Structure 1
Amino acid sequence: MTIELFREDAYLKECEATVMAVTERGGIVLDQTVFYPTGGGQPGDSGILIPADGRRLRIASTVYDRDSGAIVHVPDDSGEVGQDLPAVGTAVKAVIDWDRRYRHMRMHTALHLLCAVVPCGVTGGQIGVEKSRLDFDIGEQTLDKEEITAQLNDLVARDISVSANWISDEQLDRNPDLVRTMSVAPPRGAGRVRLIKVGEDVDLQPCGGTHVKRTSEIGPLRVSKIENKGKRNRRVNIVFADQAGRDQ
């Protein structure tokens, strides 16, 4: 299995790696990687792989292979037909598109703050470079866009620490309230589950994504829109505050 370097240090921008396999569809499997694969509402990383000869193989996305569970780096063939793929055993430098990843990290952490501000079950979510959202089963509650925006920015301004640790599957079973997502269960199978903790009592829940170290890194936020998605379901969309007019 690929060593997931991004899991321990989300700030790694590149690493040395060896090509372990090339899939039938041309996906590249490395022995270790800094590329985050699509999961938990967070898009997979893009970037480049650079073999010793200096070629730059563009990677459009990164995904988990459904059958093997391997992390697959998907080459970008949009601009030219058939980029030359490195052979098995080739040493490469793997470099992510850091600007894109860092925005995902900021957005993903912001959604943890949104979970803290809206204490309801989460029925869905999606992370993007410009806009992210969570869907909540709010029951009889009402949500106010300006109030949520103010509470989010208060948490950002407080420069709260964000950390990760691991618990066993059994520990999670004994603490089911840690799971906020109603439709998607935390990833299991490895015998342990990763928890993301914001401050001492702001938010604590299982999550495999990438996050910033302190809430101040997120920057000012704005709730751009709250959508009615059913009798009990509300979709809360957030954007970075400097993205004026990008509310859709």
Structure 2
Amino acid sequence: MIDAIVHSASPVLLVGGGELDKDALRAELSRFDKVVAADGGADAVLAAGGRPDALIGDLDSVSEAARAALPAEAVHEIAEQDSTDFDKCLRNIAAPLVVAMGFLGARVDHQLAAFTVLAQRAERPCLLIGAHDAVALCPPELKIGLPRDTRVSLWPLAEVTGRSDGLHWPIAGMRFAPHATIGTSNRAEGPIRLRMDAPGMLILLPARFAGALAQALMAAPRWGS
């Protein structure tokens, strides 16, 4: 069994303290059996009428009231400052998928840090959902049904190659890198299939396709499996 704080046989909702739509969060809370708060995300969960099963982080942002509202055994302080609260959470959740809200929007540096963690923890599938985009690290193979002309952006975090079916501009033969070739603003011709040679490519879709991307990630093989 993976060494972790939270274990779940079903997807877990992870809530951060960043930009959040309260109505969207409330809707997501009703869909998950387990909810984890990253530091100040506990305040957002409680304000939306939920209660996190675990609070994980360095706990420098959560309010005293939110911390006091949780049982002591649900609070997991990880004081080291060499990683973000998002990383502290993701590495301590063993689940088929982590759906994370409150990590996109507002501060660009926080978003970039979250993207880096997706690559560092490639073996732990995670979907970031924001107001406008749904973002995930591409698994070794990803199949997802999309309507024609859906925006599909690919953003490399390292040098990476791959192949595609169903994209308007195929990616076979291209060597991607953040300082060189990128793949933003491609579009689907219909259902797409991506195959990546290494864990270094983000896929970004319009937020309305977050559910479809979550299902595709659940069905996909994992890095390192």
Output the TM-score relative to the length of structure 2. Answer: 0.28
| Structure with greater helix percent | 2
Output the TM-score relative to the length of structure 1. Answer: 0.26
Larger gyration radius, structure 1 or structure 2: 1
| Structure with greater strand percent | 1
